Structure 1
Amino acid sequence: MTTGKLDVSTLLSDDVMWTLLGTLYLRAYESRSPHSILRDHYAAEALERIEYDEPALARRLRPKTNQFLVALRGKQLDTWTTAFLDRHPDATVLQVGCGLDSRALRLQKPKNVRWYDLDLPDVIAIRRRLFEERDGHWMIAASVTDDDWLRAIPNDRPTLIIAEGLFPYLQTDDVRKLLQRLSDHFGTGELLFDSLAQWMTRFIKVFVFSFRDGHEIESGNNRLRLQETSPFSTFWPLIHSPGIRRLYQVGHKFKAWRNLMVSYRFTF
């Protein structure tokens, strides 16, 4: 972990930089509230060590409202992760496309858990300068679409696989192949991920993969069984701002709003 300011614009392409910084910025912004949902002070600390154009990010991301898109999604995945680790305190956790997420640090995980964070080599190089690897926590530098890295992950324990904010950026065939490789490699466990409404992949070209509902995933992989779906607005009562809380409360009543972003929990 480095103590100096890090200029990520010299290390990443513009699209990757904006995705990483944007998510980190929104989590850090949300963490500064006394009523924070994620309480992700690791994100705030990491952001302070990065050189970035704060006014440009604020104009592009509109954090006053959009912070909750990231916080509510993260809250659901944190809740499912904690529940899994309560049931399996000696589990293996694999977070693919981890970006600059601090879940391995901010959650109170049992001491015997093995946790692996995987992302592209340039991203992991930045992670290593922002976050420390602690006991039972490893970072893997590889593309999720590569074949070799999975052999290094032991498969002798119940395994939780987390893919937050990843699949919409992948090609459909890459998602299906990845899910097959993961479910074939590990004996038993759960898969958590989020997906966007199909119309977003048609109008926002950076997004590629989407599907109608979780049963499409089941039909393409006979080891995966859908257990829960959770729209991003499920945790709207946690929003402290009365106006924004009311917006999410009303929006949650409408299917089009709820399906904007949905998290899924599968078992295998």
Structure 2
Amino acid sequence: MSEERLDLTGVADDDVTWTLLGTLYLRAWESGSPQPILGDHHAAEAIRRIDYDFAKLHRRVRPEANQYLVALRATQFDDWAADFLRRHPDAVVLHLGCGLDSRALRLTPPSTVDWFDLDQPKVIELRRKLYPEREHYHLIGSSVTDPSWLTGVPADRPALVIAEGLLPYLGEAEVRQLLQRLVTHFGSGELHFDAGARWLAKLSPLGAWGLREAGEVERWHPRLRCREEVAFTARYAKIPSPAYRRLYQVMNAIPFCRNIFREYRFSF
């Protein structure tokens, strides 16, 4: 990997958002913990190579508190993905809205897996400079709501679709059309995503999507079935900080708090 420092001038205002540099910085920060949950050293290396005012970003994202939210969510998705790949070593993986996430490197899937990372073209340009490419690893620069990119993804094998931190930023009609399109394209597989409570989505000025219960998604397609759902606070025991572990434990005991964000595992 080149040691070139990446200058984000002209890109940051448009594309470097909480879901891009913010989550990358939180994963990198958490990797330096004496007892990391995720331990994403690829994120730490990426941060080292990016020329950006991370002191300013640090004040915004408050990593001392928010690192656990990101690390616990990423670990849950990693665990689900690793389980799917053990059962389907010939799978097609589609990581939607991948940002600068290093999941394809963290999981080191077998060479029989075709892995597709998809995001906006400028984000994909950054990925090409930050992370090594390899055989059976593919990058797609496109809006996730554009139906044309899916035609180039193989449909003859079990598929794993990961949408971490993505769907809450889309409208309900866009989410429904996307999931229906994916299930129709693939013969079988799993869909892993996270969603906020519906009441929370209504507070968003973006008109974002929220989910009241998994049955809402099941009704969008007869093949969609929820196999597992996990509250964002459920894995509080993994948090090394006693204060934050206790905070998450208390929130996990209160339904209103526990159900603010959830991770979902669907099969189709």
TM over 0.5: yes
State the distance in 2 between where 1:187 and 1:194 align: 23
**Correspondence for 1:7:** 7
In structure 2, what is the equivalent of residue 252 of structure 1?
Answer: 252
Is 1:201 the counterpart of 2:174? The answer is no
Change in 2 beyond 3 A, CA 1:33/1:159: same
Structure 1 position 2, deviation (Å): 4.6
Pairwise CA distance, 1:12: 4.5
Aligned residues: 268
| CA distance, structure 2, for counterparts of residue 104 and residue 266 of structure 1 | 20
Matched, 1:70 2:48: no
SS at match of 1:124: helix
Asked if the contact 2:19–2:165 (Cα under 8 Å) also holds between the matched residues in 1, the reply is no
Aligned residue number for residue 89 of structure 1: 89
Are 2:111 and 1:111 aligned? yes
After superposition, give the CA deviation of every residue in 1:200-253 in whole Å (9 maximum; x if it has no partner): 223342461112011100112222111110111121111111111111111111
Which moved further from structure 2: 95-104 or 205-214?
A: 205-214
- The residue correspondences of 1:1-268 to structure 2 (distance < 5 A) are 2-14=2-14, 16-206=16-206, 208-268=208-268
Summarize deviations over 1:138-187 as a string: whole Å, max 9, x none.
11111111111101000111110000000011111111111011000000
Query: Secondary structure at the residue paired with 2:143?
Result: coil
Superposed displacement of residue 15, structure 1:
6.0
For 1:234, what is the secondary structure of its paired residue?
coil
> Structure 2 stretches of 5 or more lacking a match?
none
1:124 Cα deviation after fit: 0.3
Structure 1 stretches of 5 or more lacking a match?
none
Conserved in 1, the CA contact under 8 Å of 2:197 and 2:261? yes
Contact 1:95 1:118 in 2 (8 A): yes
Q: Find the aligned partners of 2:159 and 2:103 in 1 and give their Cα distance.
A: 16
Quote the sequence identity (%).
53
If the length of structure 2 is used for normalisation, what is the TM-score? 0.95
2:102 aligned partner, one-letter code: S
Instruction: Name the amino acid aligned to 1:127.
Output: R
Runs (4+) of structure 1 exceeding 4 A deviation are none
